[in-house]
């Protein structure tokens, strides 16, 4: 039995992930408490409801997939268009990968997203902030047209929803999707790159 | 009892729509047969399965909402950017309206879409064909940059999925969505309009 006093949020979330991978959406707080060998009262002190537990699992999962995106936004290798493309492809790829390799957690993330929770709003806001750093750098380097980087970043994020939003994860075939992303990418580039820039 | 010999596809689909609005996804072919007062054998001769019936209802529904879009693509009033914007807004508005006013049929359309049926592929292909007429006209008038109108139209369609795909119909608030559409619209315009064009 886990010592209740040392029961950390991380331990609970690790266990919750395992249980969710096994039982999916049917998982209850009680199931997680059982595996942890603590009373469900103890667990409810950490997570007041099943919804709260699912959100916490999703939040940590989103944080994990955001780390490489944060790294790309903070480094300055390559041109701004190159970094922008790598950033978008990393986002798209990580979602595709999770949908394929971790379908249970992905389906919980999809459900939390469709409920329009504050958590998802904050996550989208955070991703757009990362994206706007790259756009801003491109504006400073006079590769991208001048303008408000936050607004441009939000436009780019919304224009690529087809490729990274969980609702579209299992839609269409990979080849068509890649081809469609290429078309949208060219449209975005044409929209943001200065006419006097040679790529 | 409807004379079986005169039972038209239109009559069946009219009735199926009514029944679907009442019983939603639980509707069976047998329920529709009952209301039409024909044997279900008769109905199965027209629609071999529930899936076939739902697809036929969705197909007619999609055809209905495509008519105004066809009209916009075929007329030549206003500038190409203006027509492009009206076309996109009409598409977005008709989906929003249906989601709000006709939730049962909209939910069937959403389900058929998520199954990636040929019907939906054809519908998307058709919409992109309509869109490419406007793009082509803009290229001819030298308002839009030269390029393959079909590819540009497909890029525009995919970049606006956030605003017209049924999976996003109930996501986010209307004001934010309108604001986000405006951002994406400006990005698209910046991408397709020739640098020497004054809008």
Q: Is B96 in contact with B169 (CB distance < 8 Å)?
A: yes
Q: Is the pLDDT of residue B33 over 60?
A: yes
Q: How many CB pairs under 8 A join A and B?
A: 81
Percent of chain B with pLDDT over 70: 97
Are B180 and A154 an interchain contact pair (Cβ–Cβ within 8 Å)?
yes
Are B159 and A159 an interchain contact pair (Cβ–Cβ within 8 Å)?
yes
* Position B6 confidence tier, pLDDT thresholds 50, 70, 90: confident
Nearest residue to A116 (alpha-carbon basis) of A165, A155, A63, A170: A165
Q: Is the pLDDT of residue A7 over 90?
A: no
Q: Best of A111, A146, A161 to disrupt the B interface by mutation (most B CBs within 10 Å)?
A: A161
Of the listed ranges A84-88, A149-153, B85-89, B171-175, the one predicted with least confidence: B171-175
On the 0-12 / 13-18 / 19+ scale of CB atoms within 10 A, B57 is: buried
* Position B24 confidence tier, pLDDT thresholds 50, 70, 90: confident
Q: Measure the CA–CA gap between B185 and A154, rounded to whole angstroms.
A: 12
Mean pLDDT of all residues in A72-85: 94
Are A162 and B167 an interchain contact pair (Cβ–Cβ within 8 Å)?
no
Q: Is the pLDDT of residue A120 over 70?
A: yes
* Position B102 confidence tier, pLDDT thresholds 50, 70, 90: very high
Q: Is the pLDDT of residue B197 over 90?
A: no
* Position A77 confidence tier, pLDDT thresholds 50, 70, 90: confident
Task: For residue A159, list chain B residues with Cβ-Cβ distance below 8 A.
Answer: 159-160, 162, 184, 187-188
* Position A4 confidence tier, pLDDT thresholds 50, 70, 90: low
Nearest residue to B136 (alpha-carbon basis) of B125, B126, B144: B144
Task: For residue B192, list chain A residues with Cβ-Cβ distance below 8 A.
Answer: 187, 190
* Position A102 confidence tier, pLDDT thresholds 50, 70, 90: very high
With an 8 Å Cβ cutoff, the interface of chain A facing chain B consists of 114, 116, 145, 151-152, 154-156, 158-162, 165, 167-168, 171-172, 180, 183-184, 186-192, 195
Are A162 and B161 an interchain contact pair (Cβ–Cβ within 8 Å)?
yes
User: To the nearest whole angstrom, how far is the Cα of B156 from the nearest Cα of chain A?
Assistant: 7
Q: Is the pLDDT of residue B94 over 60?
A: yes
User: To the nearest whole angstrom, how far is the Cα of A188 from the nearest Cα of chain B?
Assistant: 6
pLDDT on residue B161: 97
Q: Is the pLDDT of residue B144 over 60?
A: yes
Helix and strand numbers, DSSP H then E, in chain B: 10, 0
Are B155 and A187 an interchain contact pair (Cβ–Cβ within 8 Å)?
yes
Mean pLDDT of all residues in B172-194: 96
* Average pLDDT in chain B: 92
Closest residue, chain A, to B190 (C-alpha) = A191
Task: For residue B124, list chain A residues with Cβ-Cβ distance below 8 A.
Answer: none
pLDDT on residue B4: 53
ipTM of the complex: 0.92
Mean pLDDT of all residues in A11-24: 92
User: To the nearest whole angstrom, how far is the Cα of B23 from the nearest Cα of chain A?
Assistant: 24
Q: Is the pLDDT of residue B5 over 70?
A: no
Are A152 and B114 an interchain contact pair (Cβ–Cβ within 8 Å)?
no
Of the listed ranges A151-160, B12-21, B24-33, the one predicted with least confidence: B24-33
Of the listed ranges A175-184, B28-37, B109-118, B178-187, the one predicted with least confidence: B109-118
Mean pLDDT of all residues in B87-91: 98
pLDDT on residue B115: 86
Mean pLDDT of all residues in A94-118: 91
Q: Measure the CA–CA gap between A12 and B112, rounded to whole angstroms.
A: 39
pLDDT on residue A5: 56
Of A155, A162, A168, the CB nearest to B187: A155
- B125: left (phi > 0), else alpha (psi -120 to 50), else beta? alpha
pLDDT on residue A76: 85
Interhelix angle for B174-192 vs B149-159, to 10°? Answer: 160
Q: Is B114 in contact with B85 (CB distance < 8 Å)?
A: no
Nearest residue to B18 (alpha-carbon basis) of B105, B110, B94, B107: B105
* Average pLDDT in chain A: 92
Mean pLDDT of all residues in B117-140: 95
* Position B192 confidence tier, pLDDT thresholds 50, 70, 90: very high
Task: For residue B114, list chain A residues with Cβ-Cβ distance below 8 A.
Answer: 171
Percent of chain A with pLDDT over 70: 97
Are B190 and A186 an interchain contact pair (Cβ–Cβ within 8 Å)?
no
């Amino acid at each position: 039995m886990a010592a209740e006093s040392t029961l950390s949020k991380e331990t609970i979330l690790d266990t919750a992930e395992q249980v969710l991978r096994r039982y999916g959406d049917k998982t209850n707080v009680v199931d997680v408490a059982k595996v942890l060998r603590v009373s469900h009262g103890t667990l409810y002190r950490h997570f007041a409801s099943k919804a709260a537990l699912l959100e916490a699992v999703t939040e940590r999962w989103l944080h994990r997939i955001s780390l490489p995106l944060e790294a790309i936004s903070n480094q300055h290798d390559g041109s701004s268009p190159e970094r922008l493309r790598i950033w978008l492809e990393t986002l798209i790829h990580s979602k595709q990968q999770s949908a394929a390799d971790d379908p249970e957690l992905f389906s919980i993330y999809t459900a939390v997203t469709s409920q329009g929770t504050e958590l998802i709003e904050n996550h989208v806001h955070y991703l757009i902030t990362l994206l706007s750093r790259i756009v801003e750098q491109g504006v400073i380097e006079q590769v991208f047209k001048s303008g408000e980087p936050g607004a441009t970043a939000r436009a780019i994020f919304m224009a690529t929803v087809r490729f990274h939003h969980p609702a579209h994860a299992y839609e269409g075939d990979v080849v068509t999707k890649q081809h469609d992303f290429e078309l949208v990418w060219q449209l975005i580039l044409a929209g943001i790159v200065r006419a006097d820039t040679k790529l």
